[in-house]
Amino acid sequence: MHAHAHRAAAEPLLPVDAPLGFVLAALLVAAVGVAALARLRDRDGRSYSTAVAVAGVRAAVQLAAVSFLIGWVVSAAGLLFAFLLLMLAVAVRTAGRRVTRNHTWWWAVVPVAAAVVPVVTALLLTGLVPVDGIALIPITGILIGGAMTATTLAGRRALDELHTRRGEVEAGLALGLLDRDARLEIARPAASDALLPGLDQTRTVGLVTLPGAFVGMLLGGASPLAAGAVQLFVLVALLAVQAVAVALVIELVARRRLHRAEEGHARRSRTLGAAEGE
């Protein structure tokens, strides 16, 4: 009886067959169609329907590749850490290019890496997570993904707010505030909202959603208590990672390490004006 229940729990949530492929294709087409009909566009006027289609196809290709490579990657520590570095690099570029299109995008490595590396290192040193790709890759991936999302949201919100309220920054400078402090006063409240998705997910876990780690462990045969403990760990670790990422993004934006093209041009103009005034 117990063995039968364990085998049932270990069965996949979704069968990998033709109907699954058909449903996935239909859902992707629906998402693309809605984005096109609603004329959803980014700030540069590019349609999100194309982005949705590309994202769906890329996800399928990348997951297929990872599914084939995962066994090979976890067989050697060198390959494992190379794969983790690849995950980090892709997250940094994705977040950085979402925040800004200029050369400062690479500063996104600071919030992503500084948020994730200490947590993963502590997990390895304490033995909570073994140096085993089967456990290390998904946990690190979840944390990197959380840091990437927080970096993107905080950076975009901060720079958008500074652009909209640039007059208030100038007023702060006129009152004697340092450039960093004037920008910080405007950017901090808006960028802090990047914590809301993680906070809401943690506050409503078990009541609104049953996240992936919890469901995956249940399907793998773990007890509900063990699955709940792992999910709690993931959620709390994500809160820590996202808080660090948001704090660092705010500081980078305030210090103009992360900025947009118009900000760099405005700063050069003010510098030239001050020089001419002298």
Note the helical H segments in the chain. 2-10, 18-37, 48-73, 77-99, 109-126, 133-164, 166-174, 179-192, 196-203, 212-219, 224-254, 261-277
CA gap 44, 35 in Å, rounded = 16
- Residue appearing with tokens 């093209």: 261
CA distances from 128 to 29, 119, 131 (A): 42, 11, 10
**Domains of the chain, residue spans:** 1-71, 74-277
Question: Mean pLDDT: which of 4-18, 172-186, 259-273 is highest?
Answer: 172-186
Question: Mean pLDDT: which of 175-184, 223-232, 263-272 is highest?
Answer: 175-184
Residue 92: CB partners within 8 Å, gap ≥ 6? 106, 108, 109, 112, 113, 148
Mean pLDDT, the chain, integer = 85
Query: pLDDT tens digits for 107-118?
Result: 999 999 999 999
Instruction: Give the three-state DSSP class for 91.
Output: helix
Query: pLDDT tens digits for 30-70?
Result: 999 999 999 998 877 889 999 999 999 999 998 888 878 77
What count of other Cβ atoms lies within 10 Å of the Cβ of residue 166?
Answer: 15
Please tell me the predicted confidence (pLDDT) of residue 170: 94
- Comparing 139-143, 151-155, 215-219, 226-230, the range with the smallest average pLDDT is 215-219
Instruction: Please compute the mean of the pLDDT values over residues 241-248 and round it to a whole number.
Output: 97
Between these two residues, 161 and 264, which has the higher pLDDT value?
Answer: 161
Please tell me the predicted confidence (pLDDT) of residue 262: 62
CA gap 257, 179 in Å, rounded = 13
